[in-house]
Amino acid sequence: MNSLAEQSLACQRKAISLGALVPLQTEILRSASWDPFILRKLQGYTPKQLKEVGPKQNPFSPWDRNLELNKLDQHILLLNKYPVEPGHLLLITKDWKPQTGWLSECDWQALREVWQKQGGLWFFNSAPEAGASQPHRHLQLLPRAMGEVICPEAEKFEANAVANKSAWPWQVGLKATPNNELPSLDFLIRTYAELAENYGVGNPKRDKIPLLPYNLLISNKWFVLIPRSKEGHKGFSLNALGYAGFLLATAESNLAWLHQNGPAKLLAEAAIPNH
């Protein structure tokens, strides 16, 4: 186990004991209707901070020092306060930057700095319509050990990225990473701009802000951008992890509809159709 993983586990134990970290209790529901997707159902109550409407206090200004793992030049690495999976990390900007703005070279540098110490699935939700829960800029990482399956859709992303095609009924921009390893800063910046331009999100050098909400999913094998049309459907809130194959159901989610229609129909309703 690397030092960041060890540090994360120690910080988690301490933060849980202090009540600073509150793992969400879920049950995995299995059905051929959504296999190989992983569907978790939230058990018990939803923390009020996750369901409040209207203006909220920014939880990252100041951030909770009990959740802090590392300070970078312009970013902070934190544990997610309400994780579904253990070790869920947030990479936030020290100073206010909007989630709805373009990711900067500094953001990509910070991502690579963390990635060199901990592999896994990076994801980004650009706006509330893409599943972002906070307006303060934050990228997210689900840690994975070497050889561990990164997400249910990983093989499909890889096959389509290598073949340079898209097998989904919604728009998915994707590109294979060189040599299946940690991508260079140049690759991340260039691919981000290229996919944003090609899929209607805009041009970081020309457009002040992105023209569409979108999700990013990034592994050592692929870089994926998905333009979004709305935040959810049939009581399911959908962020980038939904498109990676992870669904979270609450009391408001229509499970009967999902049984009948499946996850592809659900995800298509919240994305841009692939004409």
| Per-residue pLDDT tens digits for 153-182 | 999 999 999 999 999 999 999 999 998 889
Is the pLDDT assigned to residue 191 strictly greater than 60? yes
pLDDT at 126: 98
| Proportion of the chain above pLDDT 90, given as a percent | 88
Kindly tell me if the per-residue pLDDT of 53 is higher than 90: no
The alpha carbons of the chain give a radius of gyration, in whole angstroms, of: 18
Q: In whole angstroms, what separates CA 127 from the centre of its chain?
A: 12
Q: Give, to the nearest 10 degrees, the angle between helix 185-198 and helix 105-115.
A: 130
pLDDT digits (tens, 9 = 90+) for 69-120: 999 999 999 999 999 999 999 999 999 999 999 999 999 999 999 999 999 9
Domains of the chain and CATH, by start: 3-23+59-229 (3.30.428.70)
At residue 1, the pLDDT reads 47
What integer best gives the mean pLDDT of the chain? 94
pLDDT at position 127: 97
Using CA atoms, how far residue 252 sits from 67, 218, 235, 237, 271, in Å, is 30, 30, 5, 10, 20
Report if pTM > 0.85: yes
